[in-house]
Structure 1
Amino acid sequence: MHDELPLHVSNRGHEALAIIAESIPDFLLMSSGDGAPLYQNRAWRTYAGLAAAASSPRVWEAIAHPEDLERLHAAWAVAVKDRVTFEIEYRCRRFDGAYRWFLCRMVPVLDTDGTVTCWVGMLTDVHQQKLIEAELDQSMRRRDEFLATLAHEIRNPLQALRQALYVMEMPNVSGETSGRMRELMDRQLTLLTRFTDDFLDFNKVRWNTMSLVPANITLGALVEQVTEALRPRLAEGQNDLAVEIDEPDCMLTVDPGRVTQALTNILGNAAKYSDPGGRVALRATCVDGQAVFEVQDWGHGIERGRLTEIFDLFARAPEEHIRARDGFGIGLAVARHVATLHGGDLEAFSEGTGKGSQFTMRIPLVTAPRR
């Protein structure tokens, strides 16, 4: 009876392990010493499909993404040669054709003379982690581009200011020349101020510290502020602005400065991605307790896959679509943040590259103070 007890316990232990193996969400695999499949648990069979799992002598590569096979083969060759753990992240095809990232770890089981008798291992889903890593990498690249652009844009007006000072310090400078230099310096200081404001707004969006100071203003007066603020930028690109206001006497309780900033950013973006002399349109109306602003342009348009991405910090269109290398890729992010703080939203629409774009911003007619 005592001799049977270890066998009885052993059998129960094997049954328990089998139940665990078939129940866990990770993929458990066992292969022979040369990689031939011996066992795959239910999670693997459900994900891959039995036909796919049986189609390769090495079960872990049966559903690998074609672009990852070279890395897999190289890593496997090293593991077999050195009889060490095989560990790699790669994409696995699901039964419906979709791919997800997994961490595969196969451990060699050695006999007394060091020969690999089998490989046992697990595949763990790391797809969400890889997406987060990719998003973080993209954010870091955009940040670096932003800082490089900031340095470039600041250096130009500083050089212009230095040159203007040099000219003004020259002997016998005429009053006319001094006047031109002062105008140049004023323009460059205005530009530097805008860069500083953009940088401060970037931090406010990033850390969600932007404040709203609501005040009463009519729709017509608000649009007038926007067109006045936008006039210099439109003049630079020789763009025409068409404005249509329904119900100009409609009263809003919003932060006029922030809403003006948001609309100026949107309209400026539309002008930047339009050809010289291109038309930009603004339509403003009050509907169902909301102020609705629609900005339309007939410029370069937006790829459908980027309609959400363009609102991210540092997002910029391909260089060939930008008329001038200005802006830091934060204007639309600020505009959306302003809309969100007011309890509204900002959306982009486009039929694709070369077909223009439309931005629609909606904000409630009454916004509570937010600090």
Structure 2
Amino acid sequence: VARDVTDAARLADLDNAGRRVQAFLAILAHELRNPLAPIRNAVDVIRLTPVADSRIRHCAEIIGRQLQLLTRLVSDLMDVGRVTSGKLKVQPVPLLYNEVVATAIEAMRPALEGASQKFDVVLPADPVFVNGDAARLEQVLSNLLSNATKYTARGGTVTVRVRADGGNVVTTISDTGRGIAPEALDRIFNLFAQEGDETARSGLGIGLALARAVIEAHGGAVRASSAGEGHGSTFTVMLPEVQMDGASVPRPGTAQCAGQRILIVDDSADSADSMAELLTVLGHHAQPVYTGMCAVEAARSFAPDVVLLDLEMPDMSGYEVLDALRQSGLGPRVFALTGRSSPDDRRRTEAAGFDAHLVKPLTVEALCRALTDPHAP
């Protein structure tokens, strides 16, 4: 019996290649997040500290904006493998959509203002609600806003409008930029697709493909329209509306983010020291250590309320340090603080008994949410 296995072999090769690419992207994202973390911490320390020289403040804002772009690129790269393998996950909960839009706009406002563009926002007078994953929806809106400002000249206009229409929440993001050729309106949502000649292209061609995948995972749709090149473009996002009152929507706790004893454990001295500086500025008592063994010893003398624990260190892994802390009878909350963010990584830290899984680089807002409510998103 002779059987041609050429096609099966090719499929197996493609599957193996896909796994290798996804593993490489995970490693790349982890390696990039590690140096981004101390940069984020240092910038936040400068922002939160009174500085007489306005040039220092201005430079910190510039670094902060560029850091935000780099962080989003890293997150998008991680999602490429999930989109191609059909494993992109969302965790929908009832959301006040007005707040999701406001958060995405505030994140992008410095870039819009830096481009000297007019920014027009129209939100519905009454609150509208969706079942959604807030982080994913903010990622979509940030990507669409980033594209709008990127492809619009200085002095142009970017407009965001949200309305409830026929059981859907409809968001339109319009610009007065270079526009899109009619034949490209569907193609631009393909992964790595970019329009225009080499000199006009910008970015990796990931954002719109991710936007479509995320919105479709929410049961919605996204489309592009344009009157043609040179006449601006409009992206429309439609999500199913849910009927509920604002009192039913869960909100983060209001406890103050200050006054806790926090041990930071990271073999990167820059990461540990910068996090300690940031926590001190926020009103905490912070102590950095750089090895697993030092962490166990310091926990006995320092008696922390919270331990921020890196997972990969030369002498002991974060999991081994966690076991040692638990066996010693100490009872601090222990948060994994790592560059790894896949669902498997999160499941592993949860199974090990970590109180939260925090991903580098951590914003001040995310840090405070975790310290006041470790289960907050």
TM-score w.r.t. structure 2 length? 0.47
- Choose between structure 1 and 2 for higher RCO, CA contacts under 8 A separated by at least 6 residues: 2
Indicate the structure with greater strand content.
Answer: 1
The structure having more radius of gyration, on CA atoms, is 1
TM-score w.r.t. structure 1 length? 0.47
